[in-house]
Amino acid sequence: MGSDLSAIGVWTGGPEAPAFDASALVAAVHEVREPVHVVRDGVAGRLGLARGGHTSGLEKKSNGVPGYPLLGTLPALYPEWLGDRSFSEAHGVRFPYVAGEMANGIATSRMVIAMANAQMLGFFGAAGLSLDAIGRGLDEIEQALGKGHTSWGSNLIHSPNEPDMEDATCALYIERGVTRVSASAFMELTPAVVRYAAAGLTTDARGAIVRKHHLFAKISRAEVARQFMAPAPKEILDGLVAKGLLSAREASLALRVPIAEDITVEADSGGHTDNRPLTALFPLIQQLRDEIVRDHAFTRPIRLGAAGGIGTPAAVAAAFAMGAAFVLTGSVNQAAVESGLSSEGKRMLADMDFADVMMAPAADMFELGVKVQVLKRGTMFGVRALRLYDVYTMYDGLEAIPDATRTKLEREAFHAPLEEIWAATRAFFEARDPREVARAERDPKHKMALTFRWYLGKSSHWAIDGARDRRADYQIWCGPAQGAFNAWVKGTFLEAPENRTVVQIARNLLEGAAVVSRAQQLRTYGVPVPASVFLYSPRPLTS
């Protein structure tokens, strides 16, 4: 044994013999919650895995029992430990996992409640909802969890066309004591998001800054990430103080901390996305984060989470291997039992493949040319929405659209004359924001944009409501992760949408990621880990 320079000791006497063949190795790798020993078969020279038993120094026998040369030991690995421990501590959760805020209430209060009860974080999909609807969602969450439970959050979406709605939503969250908010689709900082982050800042007895509100910033570009990772701009803080929306003390403290300490790095995802690959984007934001922490001498961590393309255990494991503090899923939760999407919409998602997605104009940023990623298979929404944007860019107003083009749009997309659609649109904005109507009356191009946005807005609600006569127009936000997820769960209990609870999805992704991570650890030791172990198969998990 002394001549075996790679050995560090001897393993002896486990309840089971060491695993050397493929099936036994797979079983050993799956037992991630137990320490595992890398051993060598002294006769054949094979590397294998042993569990239990005893380890000792470099002797051939221990109490007369033959042993195996020990090359290394890996401690137990729990799914809870895959991310940054400070994430779980800061947000009072067990797992470094977030269910993201799918808009129009698709991420329902029921979904948030299920995640919180499973000791994970969920965000309510408030984007696109009225203030009353948001309030009702918050009521349901608080009634189910109790006011003392704060390990959940809600969405604040950037609304360049409706800044008043953004301000009002922020004010509602502060008034209702919502302590965690995910800011999404922001291209630049606004007073609303700065106000939420800074409100309630104080210090403890040692002088350390204490946050009342935890802002998660979802970003896909370095220039936006930089704004959220730096302290709030003084001019915005001064404006909020002048309006009585922040105290001078809060504004002063806000100059010493980043706006957001949890940054969600969003790669190729459903909905608003820049279609960036996570393996390229995440390291870029890591480097930027480290520069900002150094330049501002921050003593508190800025955590980076990974989102976009997270639909399999391997993807989760890869995100954590890159250094993600947490992972956030979106697309894969739309087909979950708790999702607000209709049963028909969930079935369409469950049937999709990896490439069944496309980019289409976004309802909330139509005039800016911003696009969202949507389901392509089984719906004509994407093609029809792109046609609307082409018409918008080609003509100066509804009256300028050629008769043949107009007739086709009315027949295929609107199912009504454009005059009727404008009348309904006008009534909507007279109640929501009369300034939009006044602008449309002055600007025919804006009138056309609002009219076309009727279709873009309604299409997502048709998918939520399950409108049968509008199935060909369902707008369902999703990315390639949904197709990858479907392929992973095929032939398992998670293949059927009725079994896809948001917690089972999360627990299986995390459990599988732990197995994949353990397999990769062992492979670096030279253990001949079978390729099949990297394809963890879902199973019902409860503990």
In the chain, the domains with their CATH numbers are 9-76 (no CATH), 80-340 (3.20.20.70), 346-475 (no CATH)
Tokens matching residue 147: 């006011």
Residue indicated by tokens 């609307």:
388
Percent of the chain's residues with pLDDT above 70 = 97
CA angle 247, 251, 253 (to 5 degrees): 115
pLDDT at 1: 38
Give residue 43's pLDDT band: very low, low, confident or very high (50, 70, 90).
Answer: confident
Residues 6+ apart with CB under 8 A from 413: 384, 387, 388, 455, 473
pLDDT of residue 60 exceeding 60, the answer is: no
- Least confident stretch, 34-43, 58-67, 274-283, 375-384: 58-67
Alpha helices for 31-117 (secondary structure H): 85-91, 109-117
pLDDT at 414: 97
Q: What are the DSSP calls for 37-76, one per residue?
A: EEEE-TTT--EEEE-SSEEESS-SEETTEE-EEEEEEE--
Alpha helices for 360-443 (secondary structure H): 381-394, 403-409, 418-432, 434-442
C-alpha dihedral over 298, 303, 307, 313, to 10 degrees?
Answer: 150
pLDDT of residue 65 exceeding 70, the answer is: no
Candidates 127, 134, 98; CA nearest to 460 is: 127
CB distance 49 to 6 below 8 Å: no
**478-525: pLDDT as tens digits:** 999 999 999 999 999 999 999 999 999 999 999 999 999 999 999 999
**178-197: pLDDT as tens digits:** 999 999 999 999 999 999 99
Give residue 5's pLDDT band: very low, low, confident or very high (50, 70, 90).
Answer: low
CB distance 505 to 484 below 8 Å: no
Rg (CA), the chain: 27
pLDDT of residue 145 exceeding 50, the answer is: yes
Q: Which pTM was predicted? A: 0.93
pLDDT at 2: 40
CB distance 262 to 214 below 8 Å: yes
Q: How high does pLDDT run on average in the chain?
A: 94
CB distance 37 to 2 below 8 Å: no
pLDDT, mean of residues 308-332? 97
Residue indicated by tokens 């009219």:
451
pLDDT, mean of residues 450-461? 96
Give residue 131's pLDDT band: very low, low, confident or very high (50, 70, 90).
Answer: very high
Query: Residues of 129-153 as b/e, b for ≥16 C-beta within 10 angstroms?
Result: beeeebeebbebbbebbeeeebbbb
Tokens matching residue 365: 């940023």
Report which residue type is found at 140. Answer: E
Helix, coil or strand: residue 415: coil
**516-541: pLDDT as tens digits:** 999 999 999 999 999 999 999 999 98
Cα–Cα distance for residue pair 500/82, rounded to 1 Å = 23
**211-260: pLDDT as tens digits:** 999 999 999 999 999 999 999 999 999 999 999 999 999 999 999 999 99
Highest averaged pLDDT of the listed ranges 102-106, 273-277, 282-286: 282-286
Report which residue type is found at 496. Answer: A
Tokens matching residue 67: 């042993």
Candidates 172, 174, 169; CA nearest to 158 is: 169
pLDDT of residue 462 exceeding 80, the answer is: yes
Cα–Cα distance for residue pair 475/455, rounded to 1 Å = 10
Helix, coil or strand: residue 401: coil
pLDDT, mean of residues 394-411? 97
Q: Is 526 left (phi over 0), alpha (psi -120 to 50) or beta?
A: left
Give residue 160's pLDDT band: very low, low, confident or very high (50, 70, 90).
Answer: confident
pLDDT of residue 63 exceeding 90, the answer is: no
pLDDT of residue 390 exceeding 90, the answer is: yes
Give residue 432's pLDDT band: very low, low, confident or very high (50, 70, 90).
Answer: confident
**334-384: pLDDT as tens digits:** 999 999 999 999 999 999 999 999 999 998 889 989 999 999 999 999 999
Backbone angles phi, psi at 115, to 5 degrees: -65, -45
CB distance 202 to 210 below 8 Å: yes
